[in-house]
Structure 1
């Protein structure tokens, strides 16, 4: 399934480098779309985020896709993440990042994520409906809305992330897939740092006149083809 994609990103002011990254890869039966957000508090986290996405896209392209159903493909992605965790730990001992992987197959979709990158669906009226959970301290029960989390001062304390200093603990979710669906994969600089009006401006223009947040602002738009 080949989708139309658009990567929008704008650097914040907290770090000299933009630590958000994206990647995608397609095989005959499936496509993956990935975003990662390197921590602004730990050195080389932007490099780690990009290295993780590189490892996952290369690994995905080598999978025997014709032999795998959705559940088997999800398990294969978990193994790729675990392998990447082992491979990158020595190169990035202090770094940390959040990531989100969206995999689209002809009849279903699933996500794998750790941290505070979030999956959304853009409705026909343009409103964003956030779908995935945020792995952060205020949401330890998993019962808060994204708007509630965005207002919490402790939301930057993550309960899950990709880091050599932590055991990797990805969350998998399955989602209905339909033609002409508009997915949005966003870093917290987008979903939590911007109000709804500024989110729409960013989606329309691809940038803001000035970053209203210290954090990098990024999102990956993925639109599946019509039937």
Structure 2
């Protein structure tokens, strides 16, 4: 599946480096799109985010083509994530990151995530319909909207993330797949740090009138083919 991709990212001022990153791999059988957001408060987190996505794309490319239904692919990705948790913890012992994986097949879609990178669908009106939960203490019941979460500073306290200091606990969700869908993978700098109008401007232009004074801001836009 050949989709139209657009990656927009703008560094914030909390860290000297932009700790948001993205990757994708589009073999014939399935397409994999990934973003990660390295923690701004733990050293080496940007490097961890990049290393995790590199592991996921590389190991995904080595999977056998036979019998790749959504359940099997999801399980294979969970094993890759678990393996990455083991191999990367010695290289980045203090680091942490949120990540989000979207896998699109011919007739199915699923996502895997830990942390506060969120998945959405952009409707024809331009409204973003957020699908996945933010794994933060504020949203421990999973019943708050993204707009509600964005208003509270306590949203930065995560209940799940990719870190050597805690067990990996990915959430898997399966989604209906239709032609010509507009998917959005976004870091919390985008969905929580920008107003709806600023989100629309950033999606359109890829930058803001002034540099963000908080977190890095990033989103990966994916438009699937009409048929």
Alignment partner, residue 201 of structure 1? 201
Deviates most, 170-179 or 61-70: 61-70
Q: Is the 8 A contact 1:26 1:61 kept in 2?
A: no
The equivalent residue for 1:31 is 31
Structure-2 residue corresponding to 1:223: 223
Q: Is the 8 A contact 1:193 1:213 kept in 2?
A: no
Aligned to 1:103, what secondary structure does the other structure show? strand
* Matching residue of 2:91: 91
Match of 2:19 in 1: 19
Count of aligned pairs: 227
The one-character-per-residue Cα deviations of 1:147-205 (angstroms, maximum 9, x if unpaired) are: 11001110000000000000000000000011110000000000000000000010111
Contact 1:37–1:97 under 8 Å retained in 2:
yes
Question: SS where residue 29 of structure 1 aligns?
Answer: coil
8 A contact 2:13–2:212 mirrored in 1: no
User: 1:151 and 2:151 equivalent?
Assistant: yes
After TM superposition, which residue ranges in structure 1, 4 or more long, deviate above 2 angstroms?
A: none
Provide structure 2 residue ranges, at least 5 long, that are not aligned to the other structure: none
TM-score normalised by the chain length of structure 2: 0.99
Matched residue, 2:53: 53
Contact 1:23/1:57 (CA < 8 Å) preserved in 2?
yes
Q: How far apart in 1 are the matches of 2:141 and 2:213?
A: 27
| RMSD of aligned Cα (Å) | 0.7
After TM superposition, the score normalised by the length of structure 1 is 0.99
Please give the alpha-carbon distance, in whole angstroms, between the structure 2 residues aligned to 1:79 and 1:48: 18
Query: Is the 2:112–2:173 contact (alpha carbons within 8 Å) kept by the matching residues of 1?
Result: yes
